[in-house]
């Protein structure tokens, strides 16, 4: 009994530490949201002399998440784009297959990887001679924004393969913009408190098993 209680207390203690650490991290993240409820990166410069900047395929597989979170509360992505030239900008998100079809034959740049601390982006130029049609005139975008000055795109997260595109509003070459990405995750606070409360419960369970282990006296062999 005593050995079993010690083992149970150790396991519960380890689970408690893990849950409390995750809960604390999520609570800290939740506290970093801006006034509109978004967790955002800093603005970073993306530049190319081609006709468009497009992210590599973003594969969002949300299978199983709807068993925990209502599908309408997966979250919202926000992309803010600030021009660094006097050209009006366009920013849009669409299924990757539609973006590839739209940019086929044009000179454009894929952003294949982005790292932070310090910031660095990997670019892969795709050759082409055609000029893309005006992006705002296309109907396949799931969300988009265009015009002079800062442009803000918001998009409700959904399953699928997606690409984000930043380009000049007229489709001309030479894109230079500061880009800030953010996410509104409405269930982050609930998950954070769930982890914290779960950690406290496991801590109490560990304490209970510890008390049992301390009070349990080992059997003393009786001489024959």
Least confident stretch, 22-26, 157-161, 167-171: 22-26
Domain map (residue ranges) of the chain: 2-26+189-215, 36-186
Instruction: Examine the pLDDT at 147 and tell me if it is beyond 60.
Output: yes
Q: Which residue has the higher pLDDT, 68 or 81?
A: 81
Q: What is the mean pLDDT of residues 194-207?
A: 64
Distances (CA, A) of 173 to 52, 112, 132, 180: 7, 20, 10, 21
Rounded Cα gap, residues 208 and 58, in angstroms: 47
Q: In percent, how much of the chain has pLDDT > 70? A: 58
Residue 203 has a pLDDT of 63
DSSP assignment of 148-212 = SS-EEEEEE--SEEEEEEEEETT--S-EEEEEEEEEE-TTHHHHHHHHHHHHHHHHHHHHHHHHH
Positions of E strands within 37-174: 39-40, 44-48, 53-55, 58-60, 76-83, 89-95, 108-115, 120-126, 143-147, 151-156, 160-168
171 and 131 in contact (C-beta within 8 Å)?
A: yes
The pLDDT, as a whole number, for residue 68 is 46
Whether the Cβ atoms of residue 121 and residue 65 lie closer than 8 Å to each other: no
For the stretch 16-67, pLDDT in tens is 676 656 656 555 455 555 666 677 778 899 999 999 999 987 776 655 545 4
Name the burial class of residue 26, with classes exposed (0-12), middle (13-18) and buried (19+) by CB atoms within 10 angstroms of its CB: buried
pLDDT at res. 69: 47
Mean of the per-residue pLDDT values for the chain? 77
- Regarding pTM above 0.75, the answer is no
The residue-averaged pLDDT of 202-209 equals 63
Residue 63, Cβ neighbours under 10 Å: how many?
7
36-186: what fold? Jelly Rolls (2.60.120)
Angle at 140 between CA 121 and CA 150, to 5 degrees: 50
């Amino acid at each position: 009994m005593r050995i079993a209680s010690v083992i149970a207390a150790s396991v519960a203690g380890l689970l408690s530490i893990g849950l409390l650490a995750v809960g604390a991290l999520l609570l800290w993240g939740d506290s970093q949201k801006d006034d509109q409820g978004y967790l955002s990166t800093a603005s970073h410069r993306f530049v190319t002399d081609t006709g468009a900047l497009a992210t590599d395929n973003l594969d969002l597989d949300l299978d199983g998440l709807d068993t925990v979170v209502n599908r309408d509360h997966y979250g919202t992505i926000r992309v803010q784009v600030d021009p660094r030239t006097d050209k009006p900008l366009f920013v849009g998100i669409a299924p990757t297959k539609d973006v590839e079809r739209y940019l086929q034959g044009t000179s454009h740049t894929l952003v294949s990887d982005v790292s932070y601390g310090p910031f660095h982006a990997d670019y892969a130029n795709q050759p082409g001679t055609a000029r893309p049609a005006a992006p705002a005139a296309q109907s396949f975008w799931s969300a988009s924004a265009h015009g002079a000055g800062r442009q803000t795109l918001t998009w409700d997260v959904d399953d699928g393969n997606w690409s984000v595109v930043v380009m000049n509003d007229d489709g001309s070459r030479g894109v230079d913009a500061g880009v800030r990405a953010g996410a509104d995750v409405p269930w982050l606070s609930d998950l954070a408190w769930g982890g914290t409360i779960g950690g406290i419960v496991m801590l109490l369970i560990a304490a209970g098993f510890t008390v049992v282990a301390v009070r349990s006296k080992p059997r003393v062999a009786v001489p024959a």
